[in-house]
Structure formats: structure tokens, C-alpha cells
Amino acid sequence: MISLGGYFSAFGQIDPEKRQLFQFAFNQPVEGRGPISAYAFYLNNHPGFIQTNMTLRLAIAPVYLDSELSFAHALGERTDFAVGAAGGGFADSYSEVRGGKLIDEESFTGHGGEISASIYHLLNPDKLIPLSGILRASAHESIYVRDSDTADAFELPPDHASFNIRTGLRWGGKEPVLSPDLGMELSAWYEGQFRTAHEGYGYNNDRELRPASHLFWGRALLIYTLPELKHNISLSFTTGTSLQADRFSAYRLGGTLPLISEFPLSLPGYYFQEISARRFALLSGQYTLPLDSAKQWLVTATATGAAVDYIPGLSQPGSFNSGVGTGFGYKSTSGAWEMIVSYSYGFDAIRSHGRGAQNIGVLFQFDLEAQNRSRAPYIDIQSPYKSRGLFRLFNN
């Protein structure tokens, strides 16, 4: 029997669960050639690190590391504090996708590093579902280099630092696992990015690195598993708008990588981050049902639709994009590992033959702590467009 009370315990923003898990995902377009669409990472969350009020979260991906050290009740009974550091190769790489085509001549590699400080405040300690306020300040350094296919006449954007502020309110949350049994969230967010360099780049300065960009987004999410039948239903609605968005701060939609960021903007059948938007509304639904009495073999169906207002320079005919997908998977009896093989179709994706594109994919997870966790909600703060670096498998 699934218990909502057991899942939504009143925790703060520091993840209280011990976690050790490995996740891998890969998408391959059937038509055309898009950006690299894969990630692989190992996540270790260690409550009680050194002292009982300290938690170390460590995520390791190829040539990239993300870490955060949290201190429970450091700023009061309901207020936690954390410091973080992240960095490595390819984290700030950029792929230009325009009109359904990857433009290698205008794509380039970016490396980066970041330090951050965060405050997590629990607003309703006596309630079943936690309502938390989050504030994070970070400093990020970006360094750009040419790829072998970058055009000689294409001028790279200037290396620069950016200072970012994120704040938000979140009611509920979900775990960072491939197939959570339960989840519920209502959240609203703001992020401001302030750059030390704001110069033109490209061909004769035909595009701009904005001095400041402001993003506003929110999400409504519900995940529920029927207790006896074990059918899993997932519904989500994410919407966002922006001020002064450029190619680096735009919302980027496309692909079916469910853990590429805290707020994955998935569009089945599309290339990874194919759509660049300054405003969007994304509605997605998924239904999963077991095929055998042991509830190990499963089949899943997904449908997604998005209304998009493109950023200047990357617009295309039609403001609506949609896709569907299906998957066939297996989950071990212990729940320690699971794998899903998927197929998806993007109805409105632009390709050389017209509209419509196909995609195949693989999702895999191995959870070393699957039998020991109490299923408490894990809540992190990641902007919906920032899916480069940590959750990517870079392969040139």
C-alpha cells in the first residue's frame, strides 16, 4: 500500500536520504543529425557527513563534478545553509540548431566552473507537504574554444564571468530517480543572470551576449501509482517567460532525457534542445502499466505539447510543437535497477523531408540504496534551461 504521508514528510531542502545511484540515458535521432543527446552520472548523497547536521551531495559525470555541503539549522531552527562548487570540461558548450538543422559552423565548446551559496527555509514545519523558500547566489566563469568545424569567420563570444541569483517557492517535490512512485509539486521561480561581458559575436556581430537576463517559470506536477494495479500516472505543466533572453539564457526544449535537469523540457522525437524560446507553455502526460503479475515488465506511453515564442534569430514557422512516445522496460524485483527502451515521434519537428521526426532511446538506472530509502522528496534548485555539463556524456 502506497502512503502519501510516508512520502511527503516535512523535510527541508537538504536531501535527508542516503543515495548512491548511477543513471544513463541516450537519444538517437532516426532522421538528421542533432546535438549530443546523452548523460551519465553517479550521485552520492551522504547525510551525517562528518557531523550529524552536515550532508554532502556529490555528483560525478565524465570530466565534470558538482558538489554541495549543507548545514542543517545553520541559520535557525527551520533554515539551512549550503555551499557548493562545480566545474569541468564542456559544461558551457553551445550547439546552434536552426530550422531543424545542427549548424556545426556556429557551434563551439565551452568550459566552466562555479561556486555558490544557498539558503533553504522551511515555511510550514507542521504540515504534511513541505513548503520551502530557496535563495541561491552563484558566480560562474565561462571559457570558449573553437570546435574543429567552427567557421573561421565566426567570432566566439567573449570569455566572461556571470553572477546569478535564483529564488523560488516550492510546495512538495519529487525524487531524482527514473521512475518515482509518487510526487507532487507546485513551484514558482525567478533567476537573474548578470554578465561581466556583453559584446557582439558571430558573423559581424550578428548576435548578442546580453548584459542581464531575467527568467520566470513555474511547474505543476503530479505523479501517482495505483496501489494494487501499480499503474503509474504522471502529469506536468511547466511554463516560463523571460526578459532580455539570448541564446545562452533561452529556454531550450527537445529530446527525452528525463533527468537532464531539475526541470527537463522534453519534446519526444525532437533533437536535444532543438527549440530555443523566450516564452513557452509545456504540457506533458505519461501512463505506465505493468505487463506481468510480478510487475517487472512494463510499457509506457507519453504525449507532450508546447506553445512556444521563439527567441529572435531562431524562430521557425508555427508556434506549436508536439510529440508522442512509447517505451518497453524492465525493473528488478528489488527495485535496484531498471531499463527502458523507447521510441518517440515529433509531429512538428522540421526535417529535410518536411515535418515529422523519429527518435529512439535507452534509459538505465542502478540504485544501490533502493531497499533502504524511506521515499522522502528530494528537492534541488536547477533552472530549466541549464542542462549542460553535469548531466551530459561528452563524446567528440
End-to-end CA distance of the chain: give it in Å, rounded: 47
Model confidence, pTM: 0.90
Query: pLDDT at position 12, please?
Result: 39
List of domains in the chain: 9-38+62-367 (2.40.160.50)
Tens digit of each residue's pLDDT (9 = 90 or more) over 267-317: 999 999 999 999 999 999 999 999 999 999 999 999 999 999 999 999 999
Alpha carbon separation from 127 to 11, 83, 102, 189, 213 (Å, rounded): 10, 27, 49, 22, 36
Instruction: Quickly state the pLDDT bin for 4 (edges 50, 70, 90).
Output: very low
> Residues 6 or more apart from 345 whose CB is under 8 A from it?
268, 269, 323, 324, 325, 356, 357, 358, 359
Query: pLDDT at position 127, please?
Result: 87
Torsion over CA: 191, 81, 123, 127 (sign): positive
Average pLDDT of span 346-357: 96
Answer yes or no: is pLDDT of 175 > 90: no
Residues in the chain: 396
Tens digit of each residue's pLDDT (9 = 90 or more) over 200-226: 999 999 999 999 999 999 999 999 999
Higher pLDDT, 196 or 387: 196
Instruction: Quickly state the pLDDT bin for 16 (edges 50, 70, 90).
Output: confident
Answer yes or no: is pLDDT of 242 > 50: yes
| Grid cell of 204 as nine digits | 559581424
Tens digit of each residue's pLDDT (9 = 90 or more) over 124-164: 998 888 999 999 999 999 999 999 999 999 999 999 999 99
Percent of residues in the chain assigned helix, strand, coil, to nearest 5: 0, 55, 40
Are the CB atoms for 259 and 224 separated by under 8 Å? no
Q: What percent of the chain has pLDDT over 70?
A: 91
| Grid cell of 46 as nine digits | 551522504
Instruction: Quickly state the pLDDT bin for 7 (edges 50, 70, 90).
Output: very low
- Give the chain's mean pLDDT: 89
Answer yes or no: is pLDDT of 378 > 70: no
Q: Which residues of 220-231 are buried (b: 16+ CB within 10 A; e: fewer)?
A: bbbbbbeeeeee
